[in-house]
Structure 1
Amino acid sequence: MRLLYDLGIWLYGIVLHLISPFHPKAKLWTNGRKDILKRISQTVEHGQKHIWFHFASLGEFEQGRSVLEQIKTKFPDEKIILTFFSPSGFEIRKNTNLADYVFYLPEDTSKNAKAFIDIIQPKFVIFTKYEYWYHYFKELKKRDIRLLMISAIFREDQIFFKPYGGFFRSILHHVSYFFAQNMDSVHMLKWINITKAGLAGDTRFDRVVELPNQHKTIPQVEKFCRANKIIVTGSTWKPDEELLKQLANDNPQWKFILAPHEIHKGHIDDIVKLFGDVLLFSQFESYTEEQIQSSKILIVDNIGMLSSLYYYADITYIGGGFGVGIHNTLEAATYGKPIIFGPKYEKYQEAIDLVTLIAGFSISNYEELKQVFDSLQEEQFLKEASESAKKYVQQRAGATQIIMKYLETERLLN
């Protein structure tokens, strides 16, 4: 199995190199890793111990951000290195002031793992939610460097818990401690003889619970909204947008703010073609007062504004549920906004919880979307769903403090 794993890592890199001339993300992934170890060695201060955080992508960065901020605030002399697997995380957060260095993670080979750890000399390492890299984990264990997994979550259908998953279970055994999101995950780890695990919760709650007090006023959006009813749609894809087009047609009294997941020109052009008469945030200053007031659709064609957009919503819709899975629902919930999303949400504990609390609503087709949307226009139902969403976030904050207490008790911080 080890040979198959190494072959898979090698083939993945080869495929991305082959498609990189035609695929922007693949190009960023491959270019970002050219001579990566050499560049890291030339950049990082040698002889200095670092705290190493790794994130798969942008969502995991936001998930671990509260721990980063706490360390940076309480222990400003600590040196921090961030690595990302995905371009969508690295490209957006490569200049964050929460770290001293930010890099792409070199591919998971034995040679790369040894060289990378030699260079950065980690005091301890934190991975967020998932991504289990055999060679990196093995090398850290070999050197007795503490490896922590925060906001960890597991499901019974994962390969770790299959009869043929022995190799992948061995990766988990290299982790020093798991801070789990729920007790089901703790119990599943114990079932495969991993006892260094405990319930901490999801660190994202600590991040998002503060958003309502930190949201940025957006004059263009306020001008567009005025006193109208607003639905904010976040991280949408084509299947979501096709449903939302029908919803907009059937509800001309509502205004829609669309923040698509992909903002490249091709996708934005497709949305404009689908909806017709729209405003683009990037061109907002060129529109007349009459255009702004009469238009029903505003497309936010930038990144980084979504968490503040939810403040303006009466109802929210989160995309991704007709693809690999829904995107972040907590940023909408913390503002006390009911959330609609597609059918693929079973991997996301917060979405399951929100559905149970009747604050989140999963739909599979337009008829179901229309039914939910109509129900949420009833004032009492909307109020109850909104209160449930906000209360849910507020009650689940606190994971960061549990993790920080562990780091300080174990004397991992200066």
Structure 2
Amino acid sequence: MVFLYNLGIKLYNVLLHVAQFFNPKARQWVAGRKDIFEIIKAKVDPSRQHIWFHFASLGEFEQGRPVLEHLKKQYPSEGIIITFFSPSGYELRKNYALADHVFYLPIDTASNAERFIELTNPKLAVFTKYEYWFHYFKTLQRNSIPLLVISAIFRKDQPFFKWYGSFNRTTLRFVTHFFVQDASSIELLNSIGLKNATISGDTRFDRVAENAAAPKQFAQVESFCSGSPVFIAGSTWPEDEKLIAGVVKSYPDWKFVIAPHEIKDEKIKALEAMLPQQSSVRYSKVTSVAVPNTRVLIIDNIGMLSALYQYGHIAFIGGGFGVGIHNTLEAAAFGIPVIFGPNYHKFLEAKALIKNGGGYSISNATELEQTLLRLQDDAVRKAAGKAAGDFVKNNKGATGVILGFIAGLKLGLA
């Protein structure tokens, strides 16, 4: 199986090198790893030990960020190295202030894992949610370096729990400790003989609660929204935007802030074409005074969304008509009702929000209209918002559990 795994890794690498000629993200992925070990060797002092955080992408970074930031606050002298698998994480966080170094993760081969760990000299490795790299995990264990997987969640349809998943189970056995989101994940790990797990919950609750307590302010957005009820749509895709365009026409007294998942000019132009004529303006064109007679503000840059929900009365989270919804908790933390599409069943927080009355799933334009009609009632909307906010508040605390475990590892942190 190791042979097949290595072959798969090499094939994936080859395919990305081919895809770089057609796909900008693949081009970034390849370019970011060019001469990666020479770059690491030039920048990192191998005699100094570091704490290594790995994130698949930007979402996992935000999820694991509370642990990193509280750890750095508690132990300010510790060196931090961050790696990303995808360009979307690396490009946005390559200058992250609390990290000594930020790199792309070299592909998972035995030699790469050995060299990376030799050059970076980690005393602790922390992976968030997923990405189980066989050679990196094995090399960490062989060098007696603790490896934690935080905010993990497991499902019975994953290869780890299938008859053919012996190799995948081997990879899991290199992990020192799992911090999982729910009891079901504990049961699944126990079913394959792994008892080194704790139910900590999801660190995203800590992150979004901290963000909601002190959000970044945007004067242009505040001015645009002033005096009107506001519908915030985050991480939207074209399927979501078609529904939202219909709502814009149906609710002339509302203001709408739309933050598309993709902000390429052609994507935003396609969104603008769906909306009533002359009803929208892009964020980059708004001054401190709201543009007259516009009801839709399109956010044409990255990094604002998590704070935009402070201006909203209702949130719509995109992705639910595709592979799955984006982050519902960022909106819920501000105490507003959350609406999303039908593909939410892999997301525990979405199911919980529906159950406690803070979230609504819709499958078509009619259901969206019906949901919004219900939320026009101030009492109903406020009750739903309170349920969403309470859900976040009641599920904080994962970061403290993980930090307590790390303190007990006796790593000589300072």
8 Å CA contact 1:224–1:293 kept in 2: the answer is: no
What's 1:166 paired with?
Answer: 166
Give the corresponding residue for 1:302.
301
Greater Cα offset, 40-49 or 386-395: 40-49
SS of 1:244's equivalent in the other structure is helix
Structure 1 alignment gaps of length 5 or more: none
Residue 65 of structure 2 corresponds to which residue in structure 1? 65
Tell me the matched-pair count: 411
Q: Percent identity?
A: 50
Matched residue, 1:181? 181
What does residue range 139-150 of structure 1 map to in structure 2 within 5 Å? 139-150=139-150
Q: Which residue of 2 aligns with 1:264?
A: 264
1:87-122 alpha-carbon deviations (Å, 9 max, x no partner): 110000000011100000000111111110111111
Q: Which residue number in structure 1 is paired with residue 92 of structure 2?
A: 92
Q: Is the 8 A contact 2:201 2:395 kept in 1?
A: yes
In the other structure, the counterpart of 2:331 is 332
* 1-structure distance, mates of 2:300, 2:10: 36
| Residue 281 (1) aligns with residue 283 (2) | yes
Q: Supply the distance in 1 between the matched residues of 2:386 and 2:352 (Cα, whole angstroms).
A: 14
Alignment of 1:5-404 (within 5 A): 5-275=5-275, 276-277=277-278, 278-285=280-287, 292-404=291-403
Counterpart Cα distance in 2 of 1:46 and 1:7 = 30
* Contact 2:220–2:289 (CA under 8 A) maintained in structure 1: no
Aligned equivalents of 2:254, 2:26: Cα separation in 1: 39
SS at match of 2:150: strand
**Alpha carbons of structure 1 residues 223 and 37: separation in structure 2 relative to 1, 3 Å:** same
Q: CA deviation at 1:22?
A: 2.1
Deviates more, 1:305-314 or 1:261-270: 261-270
Residue 4 of structure 1 deviates from its aligned partner by 2.2
Q: Tell me the distance in 2 between the aligned counterparts of 1:108 and 1:266.
A: 36
CA shift, 1:213, in A, is 2.3
Q: Which runs of 5+ in 2 are unaligned?
A: none
- Supply the distance in 2 between the matched residues of 1:349 and 1:250 (Cα, whole angstroms): 32
SS in 2 for 1:210: helix
Moved over 4 A (4+): none
CA distance in 2, matches of 1:188, 1:13: 32
TM-score, normalising length: structure 1? 0.97
Distance 1:71 1:202 in 2: 17
In the TM superposition, 1:401-412 aligns within 5 A as: 401-412=400-411
Inter-partner Cα distance in structure 2 for 1:99 and 1:322: 36
TM-score in terms of structure 2 length: 0.97
Structure 1 residue 288 displacement after superposition: 7.5
Name the SS of the counterpart of 2:224 in structure 1. helix
Give, in whole Å, the separation in 2 of the partners of 1:374 and 1:288: 30
Q: Distance in 2 between matches of 1:161 and 1:41?
A: 39
Maintained 8 Å contact 1:257/1:299: yes
SS at 1:116 equivalent: helix
Q: How many angstroms apart in 1 are the aligned matches of 2:222 and 2:292?
A: 11
Partner SS for 1:294? coil
**Once the 2 structures are TM-superposed, how far is the Cα of residue 155 of structure 1 from its aligned partner?**
0.9
Amino acid in the other structure paired with 2:192: I
Give the Cα–Cα distance (whole angstroms) in 1 for the partners of residues 234 and 147 of structure 2: 34
Q: CA deviation at 1:270?
A: 1.5
Question: Once the 2 structures are TM-superposed, how far is the Cα of residue 376 of structure 1 from its aligned partner?
Answer: 1.1
SS at match of 1:145: coil
2: distance between equivalents of 1:86 and 1:288? 38
1:51–1:122: 8 Å Cα contact kept in structure 2? yes
Give deviations 1:345-384, integer Å, cap 9, x for gaps: 1111111111111211111111111111111112221111
SS at match of 1:273: helix
